């Protein structure tokens, strides 16, 4: 099943934007100047597994309502290729780097998450931006009041770009709730640990490891206690999800032929 040359492509229940990193950065810079709120999601294997396990229509809608949905996984891209789909990889870490290094003009930037050291490093590394920081409450995924606190910050910060460094799916849930409230502006990015890589708080895998598709192994070896379950127990479920998706696609194709 070949994808269209442009536009969104459904794969594993998500509608991915088939654009490269440069195009994504330009679109985000344009969204930053809009008077309404929008957000960008960067799903990887862990996101897809969580979505499949949760079976939550509201969470699925949070991904569908994103202004941009970019593939942040070479494993997903390879599974897509095996299904006849060309799915460009635009990682959240590379995108964050490109935006802060060059793609964004001087503007107001907010960060949700991280600690005082990371905040200070960002302000020092990128002084052309006007920075605002917010350390959110704990348990964002299961505490609606905690998410509301972040939504309120987003509405009042007046930032052009908001980086949500609080993990998935809580960052996507917060963005969807912010969009639903309709009082914020700017563009938010769900970027996980990208800012920690950028400031050097965490080491990122070398480029050759990334290209080989083993960044997950590099991270596992660096943080085994935190990541072993994600990569060794939950991650392999992606192949079952892919197989189920392919069967569903075959059924749809048979019905269409009939």
- Show the tokens assigned to 76: 């997903």
DSSP three-state, residue 244: helix
Beta-carbon count within 10 A of 244 CB: 13
Residue labelled with tokens 């459904």: 10
Confidence tier at 39 by pLDDT (50, 70, 90): very high
Average pLDDT, the chain: 93
Residue labelled with tokens 């708080």: 201
Q: Residue 186: is its pLDDT beyond 90?
A: yes
Q: Residue 1: is its pLDDT beyond 80?
A: no
Answer yes or no: pTM beyond 0.85: yes
What's the pLDDT score for residue 53? 93
Query: What is the per-residue pLDDT across 143-166, written as a single tens digit (0 to 9) for each?
Result: 999 999 999 999 999 999 999 999
What's the pLDDT score for residue 4? 41
The answer to whether the beta carbons of residues 148 and 170 sit under 8 Å apart is no
Q: How far is CA 104 from CA 69, 86, 133, 214, in A?
A: 19, 28, 18, 30
At 224, give phi and psi (nearest 5°): -65, -40
Query: What is the per-residue pLDDT across 113-146, written as a single tens digit (0 to 9) for each?
Result: 999 999 999 999 999 999 999 999 989 999 999 9
**Pick from 175, 164, 171: which is nearest to 110 by CA?**
164
């Amino acid at each position: 099943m070949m994808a269209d040359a442009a536009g969104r492509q459904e794969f594993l229940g998500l509608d991915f934007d088939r654009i490269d990193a440069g195009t994504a950065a330009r679109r985000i810079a344009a969204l930053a100047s809009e008077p309404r709120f929008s957000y960008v999601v960067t799903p990887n294997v862990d996101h897809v597994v969580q979505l499949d396990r949760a079976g939550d229509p509201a969470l699925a809608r949070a991904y569908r309502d994103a202004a941009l949905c970019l593939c942040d996984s070479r494993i997903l891209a390879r599974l897509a290729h095996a299904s006849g789909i060309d799915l460009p990889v635009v990682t959240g870490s590379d995108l964050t780097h490109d935006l802060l290094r060059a793609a964004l003009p001087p503007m107001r930037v907010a960060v949700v998450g991280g600690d005082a050291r990371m905040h200070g490093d960002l302000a020092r590394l990128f002084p052309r931006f006007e920075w605002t920081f917010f350390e959110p409450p704990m348990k964002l995924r299961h505490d609606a009041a905690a998410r509301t606190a972040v939504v309120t910050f987003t509405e009042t910060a007046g930032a052009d770009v908001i980086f949500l460094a609080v993990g998935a799916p809580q960052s996507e849930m917060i963005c969807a709730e912010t969009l639903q409230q309709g009082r914020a502006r700017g563009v938010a990015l769900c970027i996980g640990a990208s800012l920690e890589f950028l400031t050097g708080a965490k080491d990122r895998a070398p480029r050759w490891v990334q290209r080989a598709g083993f960044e997950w192994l590099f991270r596992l070896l660096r943080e085994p206690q935190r990541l072993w379950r994600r990569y060794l127990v939950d991650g392999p479920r992606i192949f079952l999800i892919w197989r189920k998706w392919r069967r569903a696609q075959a059924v749809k194709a048979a019905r269409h032929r009939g």
